[in-house]
Chains A and B, each alone.
Chain A
Amino acid sequence: DADVTQTPRNRITKTGKRIMLECSQTKGHDRMYWYRQDPGLGLRLIYYSFDVKDINKGEISDGYSVSRQAQAKFSLSLESAIPNQTALYFCATSDDRTGGSETQYFGPGTRLLVL
């Protein structure tokens, strides 16, 4: 079984709709992240969480909100979807050790299309 899972894998929605993307992990990591990826722009950080009580904005948080329901679950919501939120969304996790070669582990991604 995959260590980091995302649901749904693909989603088509209409402008103005509220949608939620979910991420679950079995790695036992405290730190979780949400990124979006757009062609030519690379991966950009939306929100990150270092534990259940800690939520931080990334570089492009406007239009998004998150919820850390448990150590293993981190959800991303688009309150009112707009077409320029069409992108590939990735969840990632990492251990809570600062520094070192510990990397971030990515989920398989959610492809979102907003019409």
Chain B
Amino acid sequence: GQNIDQPTEMTATEGAIVQINCTYQTSGFNGLFWYQQHAGEAPTFLSYNVLDGLEEKGRFSSFLSRSKGYSYLLLKELQMKDSASYLCAVRAPATDKLIFGTGTRLQVFP
């Protein structure tokens, strides 16, 4: 079966650091994506991991452990505009289909 788990909601304070976890059990793996989605808007690409380790991109970093079926998205120096949902998605081999988690809604408070 295919299963991707993320916390439903998280809150954090402006300027802080927050880590959003994602665990997955899928029948195949060909990369993991993180997307940001503001309410009512389209998801936009944040990061991609296919090998174990940390990928850093400005204030955002993403980590992957394939043996543990685990990833996290780390957001530093939080800003109010980071209030959004964060979607974890695993890509299936060959078909390139994305399997999405239900998303984590992050609220950043002043």
Contact = CB atoms under 8 A, between A and B. Distances in A.
A109 B33 contact: no
A41 interface: yes
A31 interface: yes
Interface string A83-115: 000001010001000111101111111010000
B45 interface: yes
A34 interface: no
B87 A98 contact: no
Contacts of A103: 33, 45, 48
Interface of B: 8, 30-31, 33, 40-45, 48, 50, 87, 89, 94-98, 100-103
Contacts of B8: 40
B41 A108 contact: yes
B44 A109 contact: no
A43 interface: yes
A94 B96 contact: yes
A82 interface: no
A28 interface: no
Interface residues of A, number: 25
B44 A31 contact: no
Interface in A49-107: 56, 58, 88, 90, 94, 98-101, 103-107
A42 B24 CA distance: 15
A42 B103 contact: yes
Contacts of B102: 40-42
Contacts of B50: 99, 101
A51 to B, nearest CB: 13
